[in-house]
Amino acid sequence: MKSIKFKFRRLPSEIFGSIYRPYVTALLQKKDKSGWRKARMIVDTGADYSILPKSYADYLGIDLITDCIAQSTHGIGGMETVYILKGLVLKIGNFERKIPIGFLDRDDVPPLLGRHECLETFRIVLDKQTITLLSN
């Protein structure tokens, strides 16, 4: 079984002083396959699918209107439109997946790595501020 490990990132918190978050470093393939965009993504097992801010769509050459399906969604921040692309190539270390991904029409949200066709394909171990992704 292959694995890759990442240390949690310590970030400031107004409530707790600091908090540790499980980030992984991923590469996202451009639409025209001419390159990759590095992304530090929060592993979010509560997210149905992965989500990126709008600036990632721009860099990856993805048009939210013509390449994606608009979908209304409800979450902690209320209701908003998510633009869903059915297949984006994502690499984490030696692991490669083609995943559905949603883009928000704003940039004030962190990239989230969600379950559908992504996290659910790994065994995930959280241990002492380290996240390990394992796969066959």
CATH number (domain holding residue 114): 2.40.70.10
Domain extent at residue 61: 2-135
Look at residue 76 and tell me whether its pLDDT is greater than 80: no
Q: What is the mean pLDDT of residues 36-53?
A: 96
Distances 28 to 1, 42, 93, 113 between C-alpha atoms, Å: 24, 14, 12, 12
Six token digits for residue 72: 């209304």
pLDDT at 79: 86
Domains in the chain: how many in total? 1
Cα distance between residue 32 and residue 34, in whole Å:
5
Look at residue 38 and tell me whether its pLDDT is greater than 80: yes
